[in-house]
Chain A
Amino acid sequence: TQLLEQSPQFLSIQEGENLTVYCNSSSVFSSLQWYRQEPGEGPVLLVTVVTGGEVKKLKRLTFQFGDARKDSSLHITAAQPGDTGLYLCAGLTIYNQGGKLIFGQGTELSVKP
């Protein structure tokens, strides 16, 4: 079974702090997606990274795909209360037709004013 280990599982910080969420695997992925989920709603895609070493920025969020395409990170600069939510990474394996997306366990982020 392919696994995607996400850490930390819970993170509680003050407004203005920086944070990093990690997503690691022993498997190689053809792409990796990051989602954000709010209570009572389904996950919403933030970004997809495809190339090893790729860095993408979305305002205060920076996403990086590892050179070997086995890991990824999400860095938030100067976190805001509006960043509160569940962050999920999801890897698309390279050995199938594109039907299976492996999700990490999620990181529950709470940003306090």
Chain B
Amino acid sequence: EAQVTQNPRYLITVTGKKLTVTCSQNMNHEYMSWYRQDPGLGLRQIYYSMNVEVTDKGDVPEGYKVSRKEKRNFPLILESPSPNQTSLYFCASSGGTGAREKLFFGSGTQLSVL
């Protein structure tokens, strides 16, 4: 089944403790992206990747890192999480050029930073 898999689904952590949210897609998509979703703000793009070893900042990249060493994986790293990073995070991938084609979203990761 074609899908985008994020882990974990829920995560509670404390300020300053490094964490990684994994994202994997099995559709051989070149484009992958991370978003955060906050009430009243919609989805805001954190980072995106047009292909392996190519990443770029979205609208809210501060406090986040990503890497794209393989086509299928696009992990999101929070080196020193802070409470303002408490949010619902989504990973997405697309088979077209960038985001021109349909985006396939994961089921989300609810992160709470205490």
Q: Which residue of the partner chain, among B42, B48, B58, contacts A6 with CB atoms under 8 Å?
A: B42
Q: How far is the CB of B23 from chain A (nearest CB, A)?
A: 11
A residues near B45, Cβ cutoff 8 Å: 100-101
B103 touches A45 (CB 8 A): yes
B residues near A100, Cβ cutoff 8 Å: 45, 48, 58-59, 98-99
B100 touches A98 (CB 8 A): yes
Query: Which size bracket describes the interface of B in this complex?
Result: 20 to 34
CA–CA, A35 and B43, complex, Å: 11
Q: Which residue of the partner chain, among B41, B96, B98, B106, contacts A42 with CB atoms under 8 Å?
A: B106
Interface of chain A residues 64 through 112 with chain B (CB within 8 A):
88, 90, 92, 96-101, 103-106
CB-CB nearest in chain A for B6 = A42
A103 touches B43 (CB 8 A): yes
Interface residue? B50 (CB, 8 A)? yes
A residues near B103, Cβ cutoff 8 Å: 33, 35, 43, 45, 101
Interface residue? B108 (CB, 8 A)? yes
B residues near A103, Cβ cutoff 8 Å: 35, 42-44
CA–CA, A48 and B99, complex, Å: 11
CA–CA, A92 and B96, complex, Å: 13
CA–CA, A32 and B59, complex, Å: 18
Contacts A103-B43, A105-B41 hold; do A98 and B108 have CB atoms under 8 A apart?
Answer: no
Contacts A6-B42, A88-B42, A88-B43 hold; do A43 and B105 have CB atoms under 8 A apart?
Answer: yes
A residues near B99, Cβ cutoff 8 Å: 92, 98-101
CA–CA, A4 and B41, complex, Å: 11
B residues near A35, Cβ cutoff 8 Å: 103
B56 touches A42 (CB 8 A): no
